[in-house]
Amino acid sequence: VRLFLALELPPSVRRALGAVRAELEERASGWRWVSADALHVTMRFLGEVDPELDARARPLWRAAAAGARPFAATLAGLGTFPPGGRPRVLWAGFDDDPPGSAAALAGALRQAARGLGLGLDRKERTFRQHVTLARARRGETVVRPVDAAVSRERFDIGELVLFRSRTDAEGARYTALERFPLVAEV
C-alpha cells in the first residue's frame, strides 16, 4: 500500500484555499488542481509499504506524535517548486507557531523511519512544510500565478494522520487509516 503521514487542514481553511483556486484557475493555466477535500501538509512520504511493515511502524508513528507538541498554524503566501526554473508544484505556505513545531515532528518521524530501515527520500532532505495546491500538467508550460490573498485564519494542529493514497481515473484519493495525537506538554 502507498502511504504517507500528513497534517489535516480544517474545513474552513480548505474552503478558503478552494476560493484561491477559483480566483486563479482562469488566469493560471496548465495546472492540475488538488481537490479542496484532499488538501493536506505532508510530513513524511512513505511510498509502497507492505502490510507487515505498516503494522510494525504504526506504534512508532504514534510515539513520535505523542512526543511532539500540539501547535497553531496559519497559511502564508503562494509559491512554486522548484525555486528556479519551470514550476512543477504550486503551494501555499504553512507557518507554524511556535516556529519549528512541524520540523520537530518531521525530525521525529525521520528518526522513527530510520529505525524501521526506511531511508531518506529525495524531497525530505529539504523538508519545507507546505500545502500542495496544484501540479503542472504533464508536458504543459504553466503560467506562474500572481500571489492571491490567502486566509490568515489561525487553526490548531493536534494530530498526525496516516493516509493511504490510491490513484484512479480522477487522480489521487486519500483515506485516513489512523490518527496519532500530538500530546507533549509545553
Residues 94 and 130 sit within 8 Å (Cβ to Cβ)? yes
d(CA 60, CA 70): 18
Q: Which of 182, 168, 171, 50 is nearest to 108 (CA)?
A: 182
Q: Of residues 67, 81, 118, 165, which one binds ligand ATP by CB under 6 A?
A: 165
**Interface stretch with ligand ATP, choices 56-64, 66-74, 108-116, 166-174 (CB under 6 A):** 166-174
- Report the C-alpha gap between 56 and 36 in whole angstroms: 32
User: x-or-dash pattern for ligand ATP, window 126-145, by CB under 6 A?
Assistant: ------x--x----------
Examine residue 171 and tell whether it contacts ligand ATP (CB under 6 A).
Answer: yes
C-alpha cell at 131: 500545502
CB 121 within 8 A of CB 45: yes
Part in contact with ligand ATP (CB under 6 A); list of ranges 58-66, 72-80, 108-116, 167-175: 167-175
Contacts with ligand ATP by CB under 6 A lie at 2, 4, 42, 45, 121, 123-124, 132, 135, 165, 167, 171-172
